[in-house]
Amino acid sequence: MAAVALSWDRPGIGWLLTALAVATATVVSAGRGSAWSGRTAVRAGEAVAVVVLIAVGAVRAAEWLFVLCVLAAGVVGCVALTDRWSAGSLVAAPLRVAGSVPAALRWLLRGAIRIHVQDRGAARRTTVAGLVAVALLAVFGFLLAEADAAFAEMLSVLIPSVDGGTLVRWLGSAVAAVVVTAVAAHGLLTGTPVPEPGSRPGLVRRVEWALPVGGLVALFAGFVAVQATVLFGGGEHVAKTAGLTYAEYARAGFWQLLVVTGLTVIVVGVAAQIAPRATVSDRVLLRTLLGLLSVLTLVIVASALSRMAAYEQAYGFTRQRLLVTVGELWLGVLFLLTLVAGIKLRGRWVPRAALAAAVGALIGLAVLNPDAFIARQNVNRAEKHGIDLYYLSTLSADAVPALRKLPEPYRSCALAVIADELNGGSAPSSGSDRRDAWQEWNLGRATARAHLDDDALRPCSAAYGQYLPDAD
């Protein structure tokens, strides 16, 4: 399946078909393994998450989004195989899985040899049957293609031209799929559940962790007090005190607040690990300080999001700004999870929930259709604020329906670049049309082509990078 379905040039439905084939083969091979049978519901949820992430490639044309989803699917798969859920184990999971490849391949080779030895006659007959099937399809397919031009055209779409590069890609895809399936099945067959960790003494004295965390709480409280005046005072207050417009103020401070939020996650995690919990006062102090720190950080997250919203309102949406906003929202969810875990001081589930929230954020981003959303927001603000024509022309085919609403000549200029990309680098007027092969079929590109086929693009008479003039 992987050899013929995977397309390395563009994301498409072939990736989804391959993911389904690998998942099915893994379940059939390892469905009775100890690591699967003990936690069927969890394993099924992880498998569904991986397949849904890969399925984004069949729906959205934005390649950057598909890359993020593939990476996330890989992390989820690795974490599922290692079945260790501490924060450090989540980071180390890909390395653990990579280290298990030799053992998985040895297991696969032993199984193949055993099957060959035990039932050599059946294996030989199956091979002969496969060769006969290929020969029959080749002969009759050739004759039917010669008899009907429409059927021949359909076969040309389904069967790609074969050359040295194609054979190398097929072989590489097949080997990669076999390795992934072997590693997954071997991990589920041989894995053992990780026991719940018991209680442990604190690694430091109370004052050794409470002093730095308490100081950080006081610092955050002062910052939040200042932010309250900014949030309620708005742009007029900022202009008087900082000498900046609100958009400039937002841009100047957002990245620092993002770094502060990320570092605070580390501080909370370390403090929760090293703080003593032996007495009631130890636990009350831990809940109080980490709870205050988390609440104050949530206010900082809200401040960062309000700054980014002001900046986007002034300068428009981009992929980077949208991704950073989603990342900041995810950090906010992480601190909410920390607050919930602090009630009973049991946070082993937090890393798993954080990963699930990250997967949910990516799937939500795919549902939002980010490139279309960015194009739509920028088109809506074009009359008052102008528009970056060059940037919009770099968006994926997902943006075509929104960009069609631009006035001429800007509409044709933005769409011509995307049409050129869909045609494989040939200008739309050249008559060349690089249609997707069946394994490359993608809903976003198919929708864009349907719109572009209905529209006649004019020659571009506007300079790329030019902004539309203000309506004022």
Between 346-350, 354-358, 456-460, the lowest mean confidence (pLDDT) is in: 456-460
Rg (alpha carbons) of the chain, rounded to whole number: 28
Between 236-240, 257-261, 331-335, the lowest mean confidence (pLDDT) is in: 236-240
pTM of the model: 0.81
Q: How confident is residue 91, by pLDDT bands cut at 50, 70 and 90?
A: confident
Angle between helices 63-82 and 350-368 (to 10 degrees): 160
Instruction: Calculate mean pLDDT across residues 211-225.
Output: 91
C-beta separation of 403 from 415 below 8 A: yes
Query: pLDDT per residue over 424-437, tens digit each?
Result: 654 444 444 567 77
Considering only residues 81 and 74, tell me which one the structure prediction assigns the higher pLDDT: 74
**Average pLDDT of the chain to the nearest whole number:** 79
Instruction: Calculate mean pLDDT across residues 268-277.
Output: 86
In the predicted model, is pLDDT for residue 326 greater than 80?
Answer: yes
In the predicted model, is pLDDT for residue 196 greater than 70?
Answer: no
Instruction: Calculate mean pLDDT across residues 13-42.
Output: 75
Instruction: Calculate mean pLDDT across residues 159-185.
Output: 76
In the predicted model, is pLDDT for residue 192 greater than 70?
Answer: no
Taking the CA atoms of residue 406, residue 410, residue 411 and residue 417 in that order, the dihedral angle to the nearest 10 degrees is -140
Q: Backbone dihedral region of 243: left (phi > 0), alpha (psi from -120 to 50 degrees) or beta?
A: left
Number of neighbours of residue 368 by Cβ within 10 angstroms: 15
Instruction: Calculate mean pLDDT across residues 36-58.
Output: 82
In the predicted model, is pLDDT for residue 241 greater than 60?
Answer: no
In the predicted model, is pLDDT for residue 395 greater than 60?
Answer: yes
